[in-house]
Amino acid sequence: MSINNSLNMNLIKKRSYFKQVLFIATPTIIQGIVMQLQALISKAFLGSIKTEYLSSIGNAMVPYFFTLAVIFSISTGLTIVVSRNIGYNKFTEISQYFESSVFFNTIMCMGLFLLWYFFSEYIFLIIGVNQLIINYCIEYMRILAFSFIFLGYEVSLQSTLQGLGITKPIMYSGILKVAIQILLDWILILGNLGFPSYGITGAAISALISNVLAIIFMTVYVIHFKCFNINIFNFKNPYWSKYKHVIKIGLPTGFENVIWNIGNIILIKTLNDIDVNAVGIFTLTCNIESLVFMFYNGIAISTLTLVGQKIGANNKKEAKAIVVTCIRYNVILISIFFVIFLLFSKDIISIFVKDFSFISGTSIYLIITSIILFPKSINSIVGSGIRGIGNTKWMMFTQLFGTGLIIFMCNLLVYNFTINITAIYLIIFIDEILRVIINVLYFVKTDSSNNSKIV
């Protein structure tokens, strides 16, 4: 009887973990899916006008996400702090962390706005963007740069909601943003309802307008439904000490993302040296992959929030169990996408481009991408578990190792042996598989020890 009772209790706990993960992950996944569908639709609109627009977006997004990652990653510290305070039952502290983060994040984002608006040309020249498309990149980013003005507030609000485990407002605002942007893309990119076709400029304008409207909606939603007891306009007395604590936890994640984006910039520069079309192929497969990313990223966000709450409640055993449960569901999920990409790769690519030779040459890389997703997604979830226990520095160190490996192998395989774009995918796979082994071993060792230090 005791064995049966033990098995029943384990089953109940697993179901409970699943419900907790699902509650946080589902809105995040839905929001992510619709946003990625919007991005793919935008690229389909742009690709139908000029294939060069695809390479332009690919080149523009990598350094853009490089700077974006700084703010989002620092705010990972806010998510961890909020989730910990939920576990500690210290709800009064949350408002001070939120208000301080809004104030200082906004100052930082204003600096990023000035950087992109005035120096975008120099940034694209540094990463070696082809002269045929550099003007498209500059035109796009100078408009999109205005979104940084509102980013500090947006990311602080989202991170606080994620830490609280309240993700529905993020989902609803994301869906609204997507609906508005698809409509504006249809009007401004393709030239409908009496408007001329603005091409890539239209894509930037629609992205900016939809961002602003989505932020306004999320704010109104949070106030109207009283999602948490925080005055979201009370920024008169920001606490540097609170923000300093957020930075201490989040900055290593910021450096981790910066290092990861350096690796991506190296990959993009290498692809530009191979062929302009190579950037288009890589960008397209990455954008299709990013749809899958939204699924496992939702699971990873749940992992981060729930592990933080369990650690705050001093329950390390359940924190570990949540990570293991999330990995199991993730493997099932990625296996489904692997089969889909394997069977329908050409059909999926043909949605975005009509060039038959491009479709034939790209399909094999989409299948390779689906294989890479196994270690990549597990790395994301285990990494969230490691961050959730408070050790954000470890993931920074392993990413530094990975980026160093990418730089070394790009020089070895591409420049010395003149291997084509296939080498890039091989490099990414080797990087992901090595880091997932290192991170899983570290997590098992650290989290199973009663004396593990929580940073």
pLDDT tens for 262-284 read 887 788 778 777 776 777 788 88
Convert the pLDDT of each residue in 414-427 to its tens digit: 666 666 788 888 88
Q: How far apart are CA 364 and CA 371, in angstroms?
A: 11
> What integer pLDDT is reported at residue 370 of this predicted model?
92
Q: Kindly indicate the confidence band of residue 228, based on its pLDDT and cuts at 50, 70 and 90.
A: low
Which of 233-237, 320-324, 448-452 is modeled with the greatest confidence? 320-324
Select from 179, 167, 187 the least CA-distant residue to 210.
Answer: 179
Tell whether the model's pLDDT for residue 326 goes beyond 60: yes
pLDDT, average across residues 212-238? 77
**Domain span including residue 135:** 2-446
In a domain, 453, yes or no: no
CB-count exposure of residue 319 (10 Å: 0-12, 13-18, 19+): buried
Tell me what percent of the residues of the chain surpass a pLDDT of 70. Answer: 89
296 CB neighbour count, 10 Å cutoff? 27
Residue 317 CB contacts under 8 Å (≥ 6 apart), including other chains: none
List b or e across 373-405, with b for residues whose CB sees 16 or more CB atoms inside 10 angstroms: bbbbbbbbbbbbbbbbbbbbbbbbebbbebbeb
Tell whether the model's pLDDT for residue 361 goes beyond 90: no
In a domain, 149, yes or no: yes
In a domain, 454, yes or no: no
In a domain, 452, yes or no: no
355 in Cβ contact with 44 (< 8 Å)? no
189-to-2, 3, 201, 293 alpha-carbon distances in Å: 66, 64, 8, 26
pLDDT, average across residues 29-56? 77
> What integer pLDDT is reported at residue 6 of this predicted model?
39
364 in Cβ contact with 420 (< 8 Å)? no
40 in Cβ contact with 348 (< 8 Å)? no
> The pTM is what?
0.74
Among the residue ranges 19-23, 142-146, 301-305, the one predicted with the least confidence is 19-23
Q: Kindly indicate the confidence band of residue 42, based on its pLDDT and cuts at 50, 70 and 90.
A: confident
Sign of CA dihedral 418, 421, 422, 424: positive
> What integer pLDDT is reported at residue 331 of this predicted model?
93
Q: Kindly indicate the confidence band of residue 261, based on its pLDDT and cuts at 50, 70 and 90.
A: confident
> What integer pLDDT is reported at residue 454 of this predicted model?
38
pLDDT, average across residues 24-35? 78
Q: What is the mean pLDDT of the chain?
A: 82
101-to-70, 151, 163, 221 alpha-carbon distances in Å: 13, 12, 14, 20
Convert the pLDDT of each residue in 57-81 to its tens digit: 878 887 887 787 778 878 888 988 8
Sign of CA dihedral 232, 237, 239, 243: positive
Q: Can you list the positions of beta strands (E) in 281-395?
A: none
347-351: Cβ within 8 A, 24+ apart: 348/288, 349/284, 349/288, 351/40, 351/44
Convert the pLDDT of each residue in 111-164 to its tens digit: 999 999 999 888 888 877 888 888 888 999 999 999 999 999 999 999 889 888
> What integer pLDDT is reported at residue 4 of this predicted model?
41
Tell whether the model's pLDDT for residue 3 goes beyond 80: no
How many structural domains comprise the chain? 1
Tell whether the model's pLDDT for residue 200 goes beyond 50: yes
